[in-house]
Amino acid sequence: MRYRSTRGGPETDLVSVVMQGLADDGGLFVPDALPHFEPEWIKGETLAEIAAELLHPFFSGSPLEAELRAICDDALDFPVPLRRLQDAPDPLAVLEVFHGPTAAFKDVGARFLAAVMERALPLLGGDARPLTILVATSGDTGGAVAAAFHGRAQLRVGVLFPKGQVSQRQQHQLTCWGGNVRSFEIEGSFDDCQALAKAALTDPVLSRRYRFSSANSINLGRLLPQVAFHAASSLWHWREHGLATSHIVPTGNLGNGLACIWARAMGMPMREIVLAVNSNVTIPEYLATGDWRPRPSVQTLASAMDVGNPSNMERLFQMLPDFGELRATVQAFPVDDAAIRAQIGQDDERFGQVWCPHTATGFHVYDQLPEARRAGRPWIVCATAHPAKFESITEAVTGHAVPVPETLQELLERPAEHIILGADVDALAAELDRWDSAAA
């Protein structure tokens, strides 16, 4: 399979796509065509097995083709259960994608990307410089990327997160690594962090001085394994019940939402796809009006979704350039902080389940769907993070603590440090130069 930028340009190969992250013209890499499957063609049962089959066309012809199964086994070695909510009045299940090392669904993509990059790096020739991965994060991505890449030779990570806009436990996960991971608290919003990362990646001087890549969902290597877990959830249900599922996906930068859309486009047994966003309403406004108006992000309880200019819309626009067709493909609904709090409290009482604020947006959207769309029709809500990462929110609402997973507790006990920076490329470049000097 070959790839090119959403903005055109020459074709390239998978290794170049993953290692470069962002195209030279600032666009995002996409495959020349999505592969198609019939559900019965997929024989694997576990997520790793399904991912190895589903993603094989993307690796076809690549030097990493023979490594794909090992990559999937390496990266996807933790549970991703699909649980039916027994007390729900209609067929409703939750896909728990938060049982990885940092208790967030971002572990899936980050670990897959790290496994790919580690195997791809020796294929790039004799360049002795480390690969510097810049990752902007509004909460969970940075911790997952740091965990996935920590200690890997010739790979280093710069985490950029917005000052005062992540939870305490999220910030600790972003800053507790050291070694080949450095964390930068940026005086600005997530959008400023993302713009800073993109500016550095595309700066002609910096990109000659450093070997750069990205680990946000702008990197195709992050997106592909997310396609796999949405596909797997639909296959597991279809095999047991013979019915296609509808999906509600909390999303911010649209990586998780786009992955679900790609899974359905590839032939998985899926019906409706509905996106849940927080008070950053750029996507639902566009779907309602046809007017694409990115704007500064708004800080909310669902901090990992605080994105005012979702990057992956560029991939969706490339896939579905006709507005009418795009609007028929996906819906999106906003959920404000008051509704998030109410949903956490309500579902603690009716299901005995505590959701993180992001997952709560998904269940709120489900509850607002017309009864005719829910009754007798199976729906899956994607649960994106463990509620223990947001204890200041969940405990205030429910009045009780949520047990902390062992892997998360281990991270919280590590010492943490970070560097405060303005949202300025020159300031970031100076820190990268200091990093090089310290390593020399």
DSSP letters for 49-84: HHHHHHTHHHHTTSTTGGGHHHHHHHH--S---EEE
Asked if pLDDT for residue 350 goes beyond 90, the answer is yes
Asked if pLDDT for residue 198 goes beyond 90, the answer is no
Predicted pLDDT of residue 124: 80
Asked if pLDDT for residue 140 goes beyond 80, the answer is no
- Backbone φ and ψ of 257, nearest 5°: -65, -45
Rounded percentage of the chain residues whose pLDDT exceeds 70: 100
Q: What is the mean pLDDT of residues 405-425?
A: 93
Rounded percentage of the chain residues whose pLDDT exceeds 90: 80
Q: Tell which wins on pLDDT, 438 or 174.
A: 174
Radius of gyration of the chain (CA): 20
CA quadruple 427, 282, 381, 392: dihedral, nearest 10: 50
Asked if pLDDT for residue 253 goes beyond 80, the answer is yes
- pLDDT (tens digit per residue) in 84-130: 998 888 899 999 999 999 999 999 999 999 999 999 988 887 777 88
- pLDDT (tens digit per residue) in 38-47: 999 999 999 9
Asked if pLDDT for residue 288 goes beyond 70, the answer is yes
Residues 367 and 276 sit within 8 Å (Cβ to Cβ)? no
Domains in the chain, CATH or no CATH each: 66-105+221-405 (3.40.50.1100)
Least confident of 231-235, 260-264, 371-375: 371-375
Looking at every residue in the chain, the average pLDDT score rounds to 94
Predicted pLDDT of residue 72: 98
Order of strands, sheet of 379-383, starting from the edge strand that comes earlier in the sequence: 82-84, 92-96, 379-383, 245-250, 270-277, 331-334
Residues 55 and 44 sit within 8 Å (Cβ to Cβ)? no
Residue 168, token pair as written in the block = 């305490």
Kindly tell me the burial class for residue 246, based on how many C-beta atoms sit within 10 Å of its own C-beta (0-12, 13-18, 19 or more). buried
Predicted pLDDT of residue 218: 85
Q: What is the mean pLDDT of residues 403-426?
A: 93
Q: Tell which wins on pLDDT, 25 or 379.
A: 379
Q: Tell which wins on pLDDT, 19 or 48.
A: 48
Predicted pLDDT of residue 128: 76
Beta bridge partners, 84, equal 93
Predicted pLDDT of residue 230: 98
Residues 359 and 381 sit within 8 Å (Cβ to Cβ)? yes
Asked if pLDDT for residue 440 goes beyond 70, the answer is no
Q: What share of the chain is helix, strand, coil (3-state, %, to 5)?
A: 50, 15, 35
Q: What is the mean pLDDT of residues 247-252?
A: 97
pLDDT band at 22 (very low <50, low <70, confident <90, very high): confident
pTM of the model: 0.92
